[in-house]
Chains A and B, each alone.
Chain A
Amino acid sequence: MAKLTLVFFLSFLIFSSSIAFQSDELLVDDDEFGLEGAKPRSTDLYTSSSSPQQQQQQSPTIRRRYSDPTDLDSKVQFTLEHAFGDSDFSPAGTFSARLKTWSHGGKTLTKLRFSRNDFSAEEKDAFKNLLKGDDFYRIRLPSNVVSPRGREFVVASVRARCLPRDGLDEHFIIHMEGANILAVSYGSPGACQYPRQFKLPAKWSFNSHTILKSSEQAPRTPIFTEEILGSENAEGEVEPPPERSFWAKYWMYLIPLGLVVMNAVTQASNMAEEPTGGQAGGAQVQQPARRR
C-alpha cells in the first residue's frame, strides 16, 4: 500500500511539474489526426500560449514552419471575441492555423496557434465588475474558419470567478468538423469550486490552453457469427483449463479427511488406554485421573 502511494506521489510530482512548466512550443505538430479516443494526447492538438514575451520567443519557430512550401495547405486566421456580461463582443485574440486539404476533399485544421490580447484598462475594470457580480465572461468564434462572415457564431461562457488563479487560466476545446467549428468549450483548466469566491488574479495575463477535437469514429460492429461457432468448438478442445495441482483441486476433501483421520487416531489411542466396559459417567470421572 505504502509503495503504491509512493509511486502515486512520485507520478503526481512528475505530472504536476509538467503542468508547472509552461511549454512555449507546440507539443504536437503532427499532421495526422487519428482516432481521438484511442490515444487522446497524440491526436488532440495542444497549444499553450502565455504572455506576449513568450510569444516573442516563439516567433522564430513560426517563421520556419510557415516557410514550408505546401500546395494544399493554406493559412487561416480567425478571431476570438469576448464580451463582459451583456456588453458587445470585441476582439480578444487571434487563432492562426493551417488548413490542410486532403485528397478526398476533407479539410482539417492543423498547427493551431493562439495569441491572446491582454486586457486593456477598461477591460480589466469590466472584468473586475464581472468578478464582483459573479457574472458571465463570454467568448465567441466564427462557426466557419474559412468564410467567417455571414455565419453564426459559436458562443461559450463561463462564470468569471472560475478563471482567476495566479493569472487568468483558460482552457479551450474547439470541436471541429472540417473547416467548421461546431462548438467551443471554455472554462478553467481544472475545477471551479462551487461557492465561487471573489478573488482577483495576481497577474492580468492569460494562460491559454487549446485543444482541437474532431469527431471520433465509431468502431465497426463486429461480425463474428462464424468465428464464434469456430471458437466454441475450439474452446472445448484446444483450450482446456490450466491443470491445477492435486492439492488445489482436492483440498476441500483432504482437510476433512485429515481431520477425521486425526480424530480417529486420537480416539483409537484413547480407546486403547481406556478400560473397557466403563459407563459414561465413569469415563468422566476417570479422565482427570488419566491426565494426572
Chain B
Amino acid sequence: MAARGWSRFAVRVGARQCRAAVPPVRRASGAAPGAAETPPQRREQRPGSGTAGSGPQQVPSEKSESFASMLRRSPLIQMGPAKDKIAIGQIFHIVEDDLYIDFGGKFHCVCKRPEVDGKSWSGSWNTIWTDCGSTTRKYQRGTRVRLRLLDLELTSRFLGAKTDTTLLEADAVLLGLAESKQTKQKE
C-alpha cells in the first residue's frame, strides 16, 4: 500500500511495528481520484508555515482535487486518535521555562523545558549528561522536537455551562529533540 504523506506524524505506538497508517479501501464521498494516482509523497511541510511549499512534489492533477479527498489524505485524519501518537513539532515561542510548540494541529502545545538534556529513544550521541545551561542552548525558537500527543484541544464541560470551556491549547509530552542526523538527511 502506498505510504501516505508523512509530514510530521510518525505513527508509532509503544511496541507496535512501525508501519504506515494503512487506510482501508474507503468509498470517498465525491469523485475522488483513485489511490493509485498520487504517488507516495513526503510532504516536507514545516510546522507553522501554512504556505504550499510542497508544490513541486504534487501531481499536476492536484488542481482539481476536492476538499474531501484532500482531507482524507491529510496527516491529521490518517493519524487517527491523537492519544499517544508521536509527532515532530517546532518551537515558535519561549517564555522562560515554557516552550510553545507547534506540531501542525489547530493549536500549539506548551511544554516545560526539560531540566537536563533528555535521552532520545534511539539513544543517539546526544545523551551525555550536561549542565542546565546547555538545554537553554538546545531548546531555542525553531528547534524541532519530538512530542507524544495526548489531546489536540483541551476542552471540558463544566457544571451549568452550555458549551465546553476550551483552553486553546493542545496537550503533549515533550520527549526530546528530533534526531538531528535524520533531519539532516531529510533536507
| B and A form one assembly | no
Residues of A within 8 A of B (CB): none
Residues of B within 8 A of A (CB): none
